[in-house]
């Protein structure tokens, strides 16, 4: 018992030492969205709704891009554990090429937001602001892609502190730039919510420049990153894409379910979508904690497997999931105890406040399930198992959560339309099912890997 406790404290300490800078990095980047939402919400309900809908178009593709790039972290972690540093340089530059190609597609998508919003049937008064906001974000896509690639390299190398510092700097700069562009200060035009998009683009370019300058000037990376490896290599790019695309689809499925729900609620009215956006924004902030811990689990498991330490990989997976579950209880307590305080940061409108409070209660309930499924997924990424988790996520979210949410929220099939509350009930059940499935998949992967050496020994 004492030995197990010491193992738990040692591994949980190592995991949190790695994960806390990732948490702060994610909070800083997510806080940019929080700042955008709160500052735009002070302009008008239409600007707040436009941020919600523009973000709903942007988030799924951003998550897809981010997930593809995320493949770099376990790959670098594995090669670092195996001390194969030349391979790290090759993999890094191939991911830069992939991120650049993806940026072209994303820019094309964002610059055509208006017809998409019209096709969905969003309220006409919101469409011009939301489409202009998406257009403004398009300018920052290459900077965002480069930042995530550089961040993936640093995390795989066990360096999570520098991306954290850069992200905090970005957040601190984002606030005054938002102020200038939203409200038209110092001679700039008053852009409202659209100013948030331009501010985000500018800040991400700055962040990628700062992180690149650090990597270029640091002696440790100088010996690893060699520009002679910058030539495109189709074999390596295809390998990274095969590993990263399921991760991207998995993360995009998780995130886009919320974006699609916001778009569907947009058909009800601006006040409804504003309340949903408040709950979604707070939920995204709490989600960064288990998500960041899952990144730490991926790195820890990847290092163990690169060092051929199978038992350590199992211990790190198990302890990581337990830690994520325990930490999620802090989010549960915060959402249940202080809902009014959190909502007042966004709006004082009594109608929006009442609806958002109900949604936050349901959000608190699904925090634990979300932490379990996210951390189990992080362990699976460390084992380079990405395709099946992607399918499990699609089944849980798009096969269960969204259809059930539509039925409960917009139809009379089971009960009278519950509006946004019905969608949140669907999310709650979908996340619970996803947690069970991810844990079962991880158990299967570990068991299968343990059986292979036994079969080889028996055959010999």
In the prediction, which pLDDT does 459 show?
47
- The rounded Cα 38 to chain-centroid distance in angstroms is 20
| C-beta neighbour count of 39 within 10 angstroms | 24
- Cβ-based neighbours of 172, under 8 Å, separated by 6 or more: none
The dihedral region occupied by 184, where left means phi > 0, alpha psi between -120 and 50, and beta the remainder, is left
What angle, rounded to 10 degrees, do the helices at 367-382 and 350-365 form? Answer: 50
Query: Is the model's pLDDT at 296 over the cut of 50?
Result: yes
Q: Does the structure show a pLDDT above 60 at 458?
A: no
pLDDT digits 0-9 by tens, 107-141: 888 888 778 777 767 667 777 778 888 888 888 88
The distance of Cα 192 from the centroid of its chain, to the nearest Å, equals 26
- Is the CB of residue 205 less than 8 Å from the CB of residue 174? no
Is 109 exposed, middle or buried, given 0-12, 13-18 or 19+ CB atoms closer than 10 A?
A: middle
- Structure confidence at residue 267 (pLDDT): 62
d(CA 430, CA 434): 6
Distance of CA 236 to the CA centre of its chain: 25
Gap between the Cα atoms of 95 and 68, Å rounded: 9
Please check the confidence at residue 93 and state whether its pLDDT lies above 90. Answer: no
Mean per-residue pLDDT for 188-198? 78
The span from the first CA to the last CA of the chain, in angstroms, equals 37
pLDDT band at residue 264 using 50, 70 and 90 as cut-offs? confident
- Would you state the pLDDT for residue 271? 67
Instruction: Note the residue count of the chain.
Output: 460
- Nearest by Cα to 63 from 24, 22, 29: 29
pLDDT at 266 > cutoff 90: no
Alpha helices in 157-230 (DSSP H): 161-183, 193-217, 219-222
Mean pLDDT comparison of 95-99, 230-234, 303-307, highest-scoring range: 95-99
* pLDDT for the residue numbered 299: 84
pLDDT at 3: 61
Residue whose C-alpha is closest to residue 208's, from 287, 298, 142, 269: 142
pTM of the predicted model over 0.85: no
Among the ranges 40-44, 51-55, 244-248, which has the highest mean pLDDT value?
Answer: 244-248
Q: What is the pLDDT of residues 335-383, one digit of tens each?
A: 888 888 888 877 777 777 887 888 888 888 889 999 999 999 999 988 8
* Domain spans of the chain, in order of start: 2-448
* Gyration radius from the chain CA atoms: 22
**Residue recorded with tokens 């178009």:** 57
């Amino acid at each position: 018992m004492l030995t197990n406790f010491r193992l738990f404290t040692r591994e949980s300490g190592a995991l949190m030492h790695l994960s806390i800078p990732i948490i702060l990095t994610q909070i800083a980047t997510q806080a940019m969205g929080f700042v955008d939402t709160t500052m735009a919400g002070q302009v008008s309900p239409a600007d707040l709704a436009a941020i919600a809908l523009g973000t709903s178009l942007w988030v799924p593709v951003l998550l897809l891009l981010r997930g593809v790039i995320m493949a770099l972290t376990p790959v670098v972690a594995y090669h670092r554990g195996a001390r194969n540093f030349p391979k790290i340089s090759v993999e890094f530059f191939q991911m830069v090429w992939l991120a650049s190609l993806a940026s072209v597609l994303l820019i094309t998508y964002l610059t055509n937001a208006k017809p998409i919003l019209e096709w969905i049937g969003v309220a006409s008064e919101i469409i011009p602001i939301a489409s202009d906001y998406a257009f403004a974000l398009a300018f920052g896509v290459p900077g965002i892609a480069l930042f995530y690639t550089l961040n993936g390299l640093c995390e795989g190398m066990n360096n999570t502190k520098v991306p954290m510092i850069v992200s905090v700097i970005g957040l601190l700069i984002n606030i005054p730039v938002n102020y200038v562009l939203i409200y038209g200060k110092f001679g700039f035009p008053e852009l409202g919510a659209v100013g948030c998009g331009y501010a985000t683009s500018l800040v991400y370019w700055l962040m990628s420049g700062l992180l690149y300058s650090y990597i270029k000037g640091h002696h440790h990376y100088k010996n690893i990153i060699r520009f002679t490896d910058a030539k495109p290599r189709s074999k390596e790019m295809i390998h990274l894409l095969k590993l990263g695309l399921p991760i991207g689809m998995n993360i995009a499925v998780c995130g886009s379910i919320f974006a699609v729900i916001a778009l569907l609620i947009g058909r009800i009215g601006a006040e409804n979508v504003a309340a949903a956006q408040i709950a979604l924004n707070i939920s995204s902030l709490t989600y960064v904690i288990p998500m960041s811990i899952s990144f730490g689990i991926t790195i820890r498991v990847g290092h163990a497997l690169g060092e051929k330490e199978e038992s350590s990989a199992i211990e790190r997976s198990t302890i990581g999931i337990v830690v994520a579950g325990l930490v999620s209880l802090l989010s549960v307590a915060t959402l249940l105890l202080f809902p009014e305080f959190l909502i007042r940061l966004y709006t004082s409108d009594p109608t929006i406040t009442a609806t958002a409070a109900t949604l936050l209660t349901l959000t608190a309930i699904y925090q634990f399930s979300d932490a379990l499924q996210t951390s189990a997924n992080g362990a699976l990424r460390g084992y380079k198992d990405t395709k099946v988790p992607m399918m499990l996520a699609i089944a849980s979210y798009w096969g269960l959560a969204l259809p059930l949410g539509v039925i409960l929220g917009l139809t009379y099939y089971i009960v009278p339309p519950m509006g946004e509350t019905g969608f949140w009930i669907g999310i709650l059940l979908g996340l619970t099912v996803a947690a069970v499935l991810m844990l079962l998949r991880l158990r299967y992967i570990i068991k299968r890997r343990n059986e292979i050496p036994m079969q080889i020994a028996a055959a010999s």
